[in-house]
Amino acid sequence: MTELEKENDTESLSTEVGDIGLPEDLARSDLYGLIARFFHLPPDQELLDQIAATAEQQDTADEAPLAQFWMDVVEVAKNNPAKAWHDEFDLNFISVGRPNVVLNASFYLAGHLNERPLVNIRKALEEFGLESAQEVTETEDHISALCEVMRYLIAGDDVEISNLTNQRVFFNEHIRPWYDELCDAIEGIPEMHLYHPVAALTREFLAIEGQSFDMI
């Protein structure tokens, strides 16, 4: 999973979240973490098996759109091996030039990589006392990194940083303006059938997040 570190702290961010907060907030944190995982690396077979196993726990009568989108992800996880996911990921997200789908905010907000949106995100992370782990190659405006930040802001152990106000501001400034375009880009490639359900789930979840923040 994408890793961020607290400055002057050898522990990665991913070790500091996961058990702080109300159950519904932990569920939000987990979903941000899963989305980050899907876009950081293709899922391995263990993760796919874990997702497929949740089918037994789902209420098939649940007609909420998010639940239905989740079941679509469960189906493609259950019916496609890790190699198929790996191939689709590499074909569309990895390239020595411009990939079929760019996963960075700067591209959608400024038209190029490494532009002002990345600078703004780095400034926000600095204010939170966070920085990228040295082994992470993606820039901080990558969708997986942004989802990891949200995960920390929801379930981190420092209430001065991990709180609803910071969640709302960070989401509205750094995720909300462009996630629809990212999902459109993924869904616009017919051959990307595995990541279509992931994009649909991402879009629905982030739309719900935006609606919830608007009510604050």
Average pLDDT over residues 107-120: 95
pLDDT tens for 154-177 read 999 999 999 999 999 999 999 999
DSSP secondary structure code for residue 16 in this structure: S
Average pLDDT over residues 43-67: 87
pLDDT at 57: 74
Instruction: Report how far residue 200's alpha carbon sits from residue 180's, in angstroms, rounded to the nearest whole number.
Output: 10
pLDDT tens for 3-32 read 566 554 433 343 345 455 688 999 999 999
pLDDT at 4: 63
Spacing of C-alpha 165 from chain mean position: 19
Instruction: Report how far residue 102's alpha carbon sits from residue 87's, in angstroms, rounded to the nearest whole number.
Output: 16
Total residues found in the chain within this entry? 216
DSSP string, 93-134: H--SS--SS--BHHHHHHSSSSSHHHHHHHHHHHHHTEEE-T
**Within 10 Å of residue 28's Cβ, how many Cβ atoms?**
21
Instruction: Report how far residue 194's alpha carbon sits from residue 72's, in angstroms, rounded to the nearest whole number.
Output: 10
pLDDT at 13: 41
Instruction: Report how far residue 96's alpha carbon sits from residue 27's, in angstroms, rounded to the nearest whole number.
Output: 36
pLDDT at 22: 82
pLDDT at 135: 65
The amino acid that residue 74 corresponds to is V
3-state secondary structure of 174: helix
pLDDT at 1: 40
> Could you give the C-alpha distances from 189 to 34, 149, 171, 192, in angstroms and in order?
22, 28, 26, 6
Instruction: Report how far residue 59's alpha carbon sits from residue 160's, in angstroms, rounded to the nearest whole number.
Output: 37
